[in-house]
Amino acid sequence: MAIDMSIVGPNLKSLREGMGLGQKNVASYLGVDQSLVSKFESGERSISADMLSKLSALFCCPVSRIVTPDAAGPSMAFAFRANGLDGGDLRALAAINKIALNQLQMDRLAGGAADA
């Protein structure tokens, strides 16, 4: 399946801004240069499955929410101050988010109503 960056780019930007993060924060988390994040968001550069997985953990949403137009899916927003977060802080947040996403998936598989 080819990833349509004209869809992914705006979705990434919206999710990033929704968390109050700058491109530099996301770049630090991914271990890439800020210009690459900018190119992802503008659709100039394609994104790997590994990067999508990392971003889904950071934004606490399924990958489908990033790659699908007008995607509305389960997502959890946590209240925190985005000021002064570095890559290590974001990696810790992403690890916690991944646990939450896994729990949502397990609830869904068990027949729970985890649509929140």
Q: Consecutive sets of 10 residues in the chain, 116 residues long: mean pLDDT of each? A: 88 91 93 97 95 92 89 52 69 80 78 57
For residue 71, give both structure tokens. 């995607």
The answer to whether the beta carbons of residues 51 and 30 sit under 8 Å apart is: yes
Q: Cα separations (Å) of 87 from 97, 113, 114?
A: 15, 33, 30
The mean predicted confidence, pLDDT, of the chain is 83
pLDDT of residue 19: 86
What's the fold here for domain 5-109?
Answer: 434 Repressor (Amino-terminal Domain) (1.10.260)
Q: SS3 for 9?
A: helix
Give the integer Cα–Cα distance in Å for 27 and 75: 21
pLDDT of residue 116: 47
Residues 6+ apart with CB under 8 A from 67: 3, 4, 7, 8, 11, 52
The answer to whether the beta carbons of residues 66 and 11 sit under 8 Å apart is: yes
